[in-house]
């Protein structure tokens, strides 16, 4: 898809979602659920920049979400920062975390990076549990500011903000994919040794991908405290975020930016249905089973299946 077409489609999409958010006939629940679905689009896209393009598996997704969320809380509580500032702040700090973890472990084998990301979740959770300013283990109630811009409800505004963030992150992923960076990351994933000998500065490129990925996960987490009017560690640091952020791109397809979007839209919508009608646990089970199935049988995800189907019908 050319840049012109992409710009056109994404602008149309945003316009459409904006219209939806200011229309009066739409059920409020749509925006509550839609926020979560769009949040997963950001998370899946962010995960894929490091996991799909470079081949480094981040198990510690909640750590980055939490950094985004808690940075937003601190900014809001201390200086009454507006939402945009909270988001930017969350993104910057989460990006810094990505850089830090990368510097520590990206020189080692992939599995050590993955385990280190789990470690970060628990360490940060322990720190937050003992930090009274943000509510510690019991959490913190937050009052939403009165400013709704031109929307009828705060949730509608948050929905549209998340839509913008979703388009933003997909645009970033598309840019990375089509640039030198994407070429280098793919080379690193296929053979790090050969990449290095072909002139690719492998460590630097991995660090860049790690930072971008972390920052995007941070901006996904930053609006959460305002969305819930509440923040607490247990659900924020929930490791289940990882199975979703990992499963969605793998099931959708990791080689192209559209894969995580497909995976996120499908699975997050499924999640909304299953969690409400049956249980949270069943949804995790479904995603887990689908993940294992795809990894074993269809490693290129839905995109790969579509490609094969197209080729066979020629």
Q: Which residues of the chain form contacts with other proteins (CB under 8 A)?
A: 51-52, 55, 57, 59, 104-105, 108, 110-112, 114-116, 118-120, 122-123, 125-127, 129-130, 137, 180, 183-184, 186-187, 189-191, 193-202, 239-240, 242-243, 246-247, 250, 254-255, 281-282, 284-285, 287-289, 291-292, 295-296, 299
Which residue, 28 or 281, is less far from other proteins as judged by CB?
281
User: Cβ 100 to other proteins, closest distance in Å?
Assistant: 10
Report the nearest approach of other proteins to the CB of residue 242 (Å). 8
In the complex, least distance from residue 222 CB atom to other proteins, rounded to whole angstroms:
24
In angstroms, give the least distance from the CB of 73 to other proteins: 20
The Cα 142–Cα 129 span in angstroms is 17
CB of 89 to other proteins, least distance (A): 24
Tokens representing 128 are 């937050």
Residues linked to residue 140 through DSSP beta bridges, in sequence order: 231
Nearer to other proteins, 11 or 138 (CB): 138
The single residue listed with the structure tokens 């030198």 is 180
Instruction: Report the distance separating Cα 219 and Cα 68, nearest Å.
Output: 6
Nearer to other proteins, 28 or 190 (CB): 190
State which residue, 218 or 249, has the beta carbon closest to other proteins. Answer: 249
Could you tell me the smallest distance in angstroms from the CB atom of residue 243 to other proteins? 5
Q: Is 140 helix (H, G, I), strand (E, B) or coil?
A: strand
What would the two tokens of residue 267 be? Answer: 């699975």
**Integer Cα distance of 26 and 28 in angstroms:** 6
CA-CA distance, 258 to 256, in Å (whole number)?
5
Judged by CB, which is closer to other proteins: 163, or 192? 192
**C-beta closer to other proteins: residue 169 or 242:** 242
- Report, in Å, the least distance between residue 121 CB and other proteins: 8
DSSP string, 19-79: HHHH-SSS-HHHHHHHHHHHHHHHHHHHHHHHHTTT------HHHHHHHHHHHHHHHHHHH
Which residues lie below 8 Å from residue 95, measured CB to CB, with a gap of 6+?
211, 212, 214, 215, 218
Torsion over CA: 88, 50, 275, 120 (sign): negative
Looking at beta carbons only, is 142 or 243 nearer to other proteins?
A: 243
């Amino acid at each position: 898809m050319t840049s012109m077409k992409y710009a056109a489609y994404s602008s149309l999409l945003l316009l459409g979602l904006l219209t939806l958010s200011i229309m009066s006939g739409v059920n409020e629940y749509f925006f509550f659920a839609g926020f979560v679905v769009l949040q997963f689009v950001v998370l899946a896209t962010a995960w894929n920049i490091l996991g799909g393009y470079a081949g480094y598996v981040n198990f510690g997704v909640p750590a980055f979400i939490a950094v985004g969320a808690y940075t937003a809380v601190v900014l809001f509580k201390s200086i009454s920062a507006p939402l945009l500032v909270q988001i930017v702040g969350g993104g910057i700090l989460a990006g810094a975390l990505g850089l830090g973890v990368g510097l520590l472990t990206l020189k080692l084998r992939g599995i050590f990076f993955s385990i280190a990301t789990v470690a970060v979740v628990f360490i940060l959770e322990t720190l937050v549990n003992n930090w009274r300013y943000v509510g510690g283990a019991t959490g913190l109630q937050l009052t939403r500011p009165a400013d709704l811009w031109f929307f009828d409800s705060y949730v509608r505004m948050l929905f549209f903000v998340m839509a913008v963030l979703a388009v933003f992150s997909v645009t970033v992923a598309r840019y990375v994919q089509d640039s030198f960076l994407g070429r280098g990351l793919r080379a690193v994933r296929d053979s790090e040794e050969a990449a290095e000998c072909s002139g690719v500065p492998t460590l630097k490129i991995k660090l860049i991908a790690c930072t971008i990925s972390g920052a995007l996960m941070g901006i996904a987490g930053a609006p959460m405290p305002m969305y819930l009017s509440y923040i607490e560690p247990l659900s924020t640091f929930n490791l289940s975020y990882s199975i979703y952020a990992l499963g969605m791109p793998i099931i959708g397809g990791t080689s192209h930016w559209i894969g995580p979007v497909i995976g996120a839209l499908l699975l997050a919508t499924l999640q909304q249905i299953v969690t409400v009608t049956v249980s949270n646990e069943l949804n995790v089970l479904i995603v887990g089973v689908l993940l294992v199935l795809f990894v074993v049988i269809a490693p290129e995800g839905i995109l790969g299946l579509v490609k094969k189907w197209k080729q066979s019908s020629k």
